[in-house]
Amino acid sequence: SEKMHCRQSRISRIENAKDRNLSLGDILDYAGALGLNVELSLNDRLSILKSQINRNGELNPNYPL
């Protein structure tokens, strides 16, 4: 929280992933304080789903539906 110049409650919101209203700025600030880059990827759900199907036509059991 010192590196981000914010309260610990803001850090907790990010780390607990319970706040669905986080801003991109919150995430960028958090990543920057940790020396990390942020990559954002927007993908069509069907393409992602197809990529999780194996040669036998079975869905990867770890894929979250």
Is residue 42 in a domain?
yes
Paired with 59 in beta bridges are 53
Look at the chain and report how many structural domains it folds into. 1
pLDDT tens-digit series, residues 11-30: 777 777 777 778 888 889 88
Is residue 41 in a domain?
yes
Is residue 1 in a domain?
no
For residue 25, the tally of other CB atoms under 10 A from its CB is 8
pLDDT tens-digit series, residues 30-54: 888 889 999 988 877 777 777 878 7
Is residue 63 in a domain?
no
CA distance 35 to 52: 31
Amino acid at 48: I
Q: What is the DSSP letter of 60?
A: P
Q: Which domain holds residue 45?
A: 8-52
Is residue 59 in a domain?
no
pTM for the structure as a whole: 0.52
Is residue 31 in a domain?
yes
